[in-house]
Amino acid sequence: MTLLLLILAIIPLIAGVVIKIMFVPASSGIDITGAHIFFTIDLPMGGLPITEAQVNSWLVILSLFFFCLFLTHDLKTTDMSIRQLIAEWIVEKVEGLVRSNMGEFFICFAPFIAAILGLSACSSLLTLIGLFPPTSDINIVAGWAIMTFILITYYKFKAGPWIYIRSFGEPVPFLAPLNIISEVATPISMAFRHYGNVLSGSIISVLVSALLTTLSQLIFGKLPGFLGEFPFLRIGLPAILSIYFDLFSGCLQAFIFAMLTMLYVSGGFPEDEYFKRKRMKEAKRKQQNVQLENTNGGI
Amino acid sequence: MLELAIGIILGGCALGAGCAMIAGIGPGIGEGNAVAAACEAIGRQPESRSAVTTTMLMGCAVAETTGLYALVIAILLIFVAPGRFVNILLDAIG
């Protein structure tokens, strides 16, 4: 069972490699292209292209799903396995992060934050097995950013629409247009930040390896046979760049995306107003109950 | 004549991309200031290292945003805009 789930978690990644080998035309040399479009679904309002980025993100979701099942199936209270300890460590860390950044009220956000962290980090790390990283396509990241924007707006509405509208007129009412612009800019800047970092990393890597290929052809081009064609200078430096751009930058952007989600949601939530309103509602209900009892008693 | 027009379009796009990336100066200075202040803070209070590092990374990410807007504009100018502009030119010529 354990082994089966682990294999199920690895299969989507292998499937991604197979799909890439079978359907994506091999690029000759160095070129910078966007996601490959597999096919287009015709809808009444226009074509819906199914791209490499979408397929890869579905594969990451599947893989993470089975990996979570692998970590959390068959939980025990005594003599725990390493698997369970890892799962508990992840849950504890994320809950601590959410508690320290958002407060006790938002502790229900921990699974969502963990999902964003895992999905984003694994999507960026997909470059390590040579697949197209979904996070370097703006559509995927913009989807997450819009989801975050909806959450922010929902929590701003928690204390009633009047307080939401009034928050635009702060600190002075004539700044309202600027406040509206900054409200709209939140998801755009979140999407651009994540996508721009991953994409610029991959472009710089491609440019550096193109430069090194040309250089090694200039230097070793005169050597006979295989030795002349093999780009010797490409050994080493691109790997070091990859450590920064793929490993460090990918994980850092995932962390920053999750962190900004937490800060925006808890920052936009009008805490005092919400609790005041809640208390008032409870007091009202109590009063009504008392009145009801009085009328009942009177009869 | 058409070659000249397309050449001007390509050159203009490349120049525009280069000019857009001048915006990289701003985040560079900003992040430098942030890291300098963080180093100072860690030097003064070494025990607050992890909190300061986390906050600094967050601040750097936010400061980077304007640079990334410029990067997106530059990428659009290099990879998307030339094709569009050439198509517009061809349509205009007929």
Does B69 lie at the interface with A, CB-CB under 8 angstroms? yes
Measured CA to CA, the distance from residue A253 to residue A58 in angstroms comes to 20
Interface test with A, best of B21, B56, B69 (most A CBs within 10 A): B69
Among chain B residues, the shortest Cα distance to A263 is held by B58
Q: How far is B8 from chain A (nearest CA, A)?
A: 23
Q: B55: which 2 tokens?
A: 């906050």
* Contacts A193 to B, Cβ<8 Å: 61, 64-65, 68
Partner-chain contact B71 A200, CB within 8 Å? yes
What integer pLDDT is reported at residue A299 of this predicted model? 58
In this prediction, residue B29 has a pLDDT band, given cuts at 50, 70 and 90, of: very high
In this prediction, residue B37 has a pLDDT band, given cuts at 50, 70 and 90, of: very high
Partner-chain contact B61 A32, CB within 8 Å? no
Does A90 lie at the interface with B, CB-CB under 8 angstroms? no
Check residue B94 and report its DSSP letter: -
Q: Looking at the partner chain, which of A192, A255, A259 has a beta carbon nearest the beta carbon of B68?
A: A192
Q: How far is A233 from chain B (nearest CA, A)?
A: 27
**pLDDT tens, per residue, chain A with 299 residues:** 778 888 888 888 888 888 888 877 766 556 666 677 777 888 888 788 888 888 889 999 999 999 998 888 878 888 778 888 999 999 999 999 899 888 888 888 899 999 999 999 999 888 888 888 888 888 899 999 999 999 999 988 888 888 888 888 777 888 888 888 888 888 998 898 888 888 888 888 888 888 888 888 888 777 776 666 677 777 778 888 888 888 888 888 899 999 889 888 888 888 888 888 888 889 999 888 888 888 776 55
pLDDT in tens, B50-84: 889 888 888 888 888 888 889 889 988 988 888 89
Backbone angles phi, psi at B46, to 5 degrees: -60, -25
Partner-chain contact B64 A200, CB within 8 Å? no
Q: A198: which 2 tokens?
A: 């991953």
Residue A70 in contact with residue A241, Cβ under 8 Å? no
Residue A295's Cβ-count burial label (10 Å; 0-12, 13-18, 19+) is: exposed
What integer pLDDT is reported at residue A113 of this predicted model? 92
Backbone angles phi, psi at A2, to 5 degrees: -60, -45
All structural domains of chain B with their residue ranges = 2-93
Q: Looking at the partner chain, which of A34, A192, A259 has a beta carbon nearest the beta carbon of B58?
A: A259
A108 to each of A69, A84, A99, A155, A169, how far by Cα in Å? 20, 21, 10, 13, 30
> Which CATH number describes the domain made up of B2-93?
1.20.20.10
The residues pairing with A48 across neighbouring beta strands, listed in sequence order, are A41
Does A65 lie at the interface with B, CB-CB under 8 angstroms? no
Partner-chain contact A256 B57, CB within 8 Å? yes
All structural domains of chain A with their residue ranges = 137-275
Q: How far is B64 from chain A (nearest CA, A)?
A: 8
Partner-chain contact B64 A255, CB within 8 Å? no
What integer pLDDT is reported at residue A297 of this predicted model? 66
* Contacts B69 to A, Cβ<8 Å: 189, 192
What integer pLDDT is reported at residue A165 of this predicted model? 84
What integer pLDDT is reported at residue B44 of this predicted model? 94
Size of interface A-B (CB pairs under 8 A): 34
